[in-house]
């Protein structure tokens, strides 16, 4: 019993029933942990060429699980989660770029493609951090971030990577196309959360009128679960396809 209680302490205190953000940090931690175990354990049963892709899927959700524990505690203390959030993203989003590269490597993707994606995602996140942490005008820095986001979408949807995916065809092409959809639809959740969280006094303050600013973390948590676990499942699906 004592050990069980210690274990529960490790997972943290359960949040109050009406604390939606706290509950999603708590459930998010569990979901990311479960997904990591699934992706790591699946490595043993897939073709050798996909093992690294599954390893990366597991690392993405594992890194998020660890940051969710910190964010859950910070939230429970009433502290800001912004630094943990962006440290998580600066590690996991480049790993998502690695997934695009690994999937298309056999079709001719080069480390230059990977570098371009990583540079763009770093610009997207660093400029977003400046705006969200209040180090600069949130609207202006959010715009810079959005431009880098569009450049990423362009690269994978219309650029060379899209052409390589088309040349590969079959399961590789459809996995690439599904990941592209995650980036276009799933990643678009984040700028919405950002506008809600930073809307005060901005031209987009109507967003905060729709959903209160405190819900920014809730929106980010939903986005993370969809995107991080979703990305991993697309890769898993490719790895087990014939
Ligand atoms: C696992 C975490 C992921 C996939 C995080 C993705 C984050 C973004 C796509 C963030 C984008 C932003 C903008 C496009 C503009 C406003 C600032 C950001 C950083 C929220």
Q: Which atom of ligand 1 is nearest to the CA of 188?
A: 9
Q: For residues 135 and 130, give the distance between their C-alpha atoms in angstroms, rounded to a whole number.
A: 5
Where do the domains of the chain lie? 19-241
In whole angstroms, give the CA distance from residue 38 to residue 169: 27
Burial class of residue 133 (count of CB atoms within 10 Å of its CB; 0-12, 13-18, 19+): middle
Residue 1 banded pLDDT, cuts 50, 70, 90: low
How does pLDDT run across 198-209, given as a tens digit for each residue? 998 999 998 887
Taking the domain 19-241, which CATH number applies?
1.20.1070.10
> Going by C-beta distance under 8 Å and a sequence separation of 6 or more, which residues neighbour residue 225?
28, 31, 32
Q: Whose CA is nearest to atom 12 of ligand 1?
A: 191
184-237 pLDDT per residue, tens: 999 999 999 999 999 989 999 988 878 888 899 999 999 999 999 999 999 999
DSSP state for residue 215 in the 8-state scheme: G
CA distance linking residue 175 with residue 237, whole number of Å: 8
What is the CA(50)–ligand 1 centre distance, in A?
27
Computed over every residue of the chain, the mean pLDDT equals 94
94 closest CA partner among 130, 128, 59: 59
Q: Is the CB of 191 under 6 A from ligand 1?
A: yes
146 lines ligand 1 (CB under 6 A): yes
State whether residue 104 is helix, strand or coil: helix
CA–centroid distance, 138 to ligand 1, in Å, is: 14
Q: How far apart are the first and last CA of the chain?
A: 47
Q: Is 188:226 a contact under the CB 8 Å cutoff? A: no
d(Cα 206, Cα 102) in Å, to the nearest integer? 41
HEC assignment per residue over 34-67: HHHHHHHHHHHHCCHHHHHHHHHHHHHHHHHHHH
Mean pLDDT score, 84-97: 98
Residue nearest to atom 9 of ligand 1 (CA): 187
CB 93 within 8 A of CB 162: no
Q: What is the pLDDT of residues 136-173, one digit of tens each?
A: 999 999 999 999 999 999 999 999 999 999 999 999 99
Q: 3-state DSSP call for residue 219? A: helix
125 token code pair: 């996140």
């Amino acid at each position: 019993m004592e050990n069980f209680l210690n274990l529960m302490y490790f997972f943290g205190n359960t949040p109050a029933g009406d604390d939606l953000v706290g509950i999603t940090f708590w459930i998010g931690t569990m979901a990311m942990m479960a997904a990591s175990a699934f992706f790591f354990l699946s490595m043993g049963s897939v073709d050798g060429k996909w093992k690294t892709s599954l390893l990366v899927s597991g690392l993405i959700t594992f890194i998020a699980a660890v940051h969710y524990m910190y964010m859950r505690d910070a939230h429970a203390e009433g502290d800001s989660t912004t630094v943990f959030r962006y440290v998580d993203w600066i590690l996991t989003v480049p790993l998502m770029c690695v997934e695009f590269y690994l999937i298309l490597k056999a079709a001719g993707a080069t480390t230059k493609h990977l570098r371009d994606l990583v540079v763009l995602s770093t610009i997207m996140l660093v400029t977003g951090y400046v705006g969200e942490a209040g180090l600069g005008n949130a609207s202006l820095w959010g715009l810079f971030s959005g431009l880098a986001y569009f450049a990423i979408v362009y690269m994978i949807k219309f650029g060379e990577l899209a052409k390589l995916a088309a040349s590969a065809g079959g399961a590789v092409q459809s996995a690439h196309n599904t990941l592209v959809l995650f980036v276009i639809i799933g990643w678009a959740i984040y700028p919405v959360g950002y506008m809600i969280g930073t809307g005060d006094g901005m031209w987009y303050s109507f967003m905060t009128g729709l959903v209160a600013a405190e819900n920014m973390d809730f929106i980010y948590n939903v986005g993370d679960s969809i995107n991080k676990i979703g990305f991993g499942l697309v890769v898993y699906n490719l790895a087990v396809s014939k």
